[in-house]
Amino acid sequence: MKHIPSQTLTMNPAPETYFTGQVWMERQAVGVLRVTFTPGARTAWHTHPQGQTLIVLSGVGRVQKRGEAALTMTAGDVVQIEAGEEHWHGAAPDSLMQHLAINAGETVWLAKVTDAEYGG
């Protein structure tokens, strides 16, 4: 068993290469990140060869699978992203959003989400 006190966890800015807007990430455990998005901030398009689960902790966000309309996510929602699905996720235009991102494997990063795609 390993206990990691919350005060020892560190929020780090997310890399601008893969994110638009202000985003902070904090590793909770292997394969688990707590991610905080400011209003309008979002990931780039990406895939996870082994899938991903998002658990919204607070705020209002958006998630979109390539070729489909964006969905609204709110605190308590769980989003299961299938292996290989191109998608992005982030905060709504007028809300912070924080979620846990649970990844079994790597992330394959693609192009940034344009403002037109985000406004969709």
Count CA within 13 A, CB hemisphere, residue 25: 18
Q: Give the pLDDT band (50/70/90) at residue 21.
A: very high
Q: What is the DSSP letter of 111?
A: P
Helices and strands in the chain, H and E counts: 1, 12
Across 1-120, where does the E strand assignment appear?
Answer: 12-13, 19-20, 23-29, 32-37, 42-43, 46-47, 52-65, 71-74, 78-81, 87-91, 97-103, 108-109
Q: How many domains is the chain partitioned into structurally?
A: 1
Instruction: Check whether 64 has a pLDDT greater than 90.
Output: yes
- CATH number for the domain harbouring residue 98: 2.60.120.10
What is the value of pTM for the model shown?
0.93
Q: What is the pLDDT of residue 4?
A: 76
Is 14 within the bounds of a domain?
Answer: no
Taking residues 92-116, what's their average pLDDT? 96
- Res 6 pLDDT > 90: no
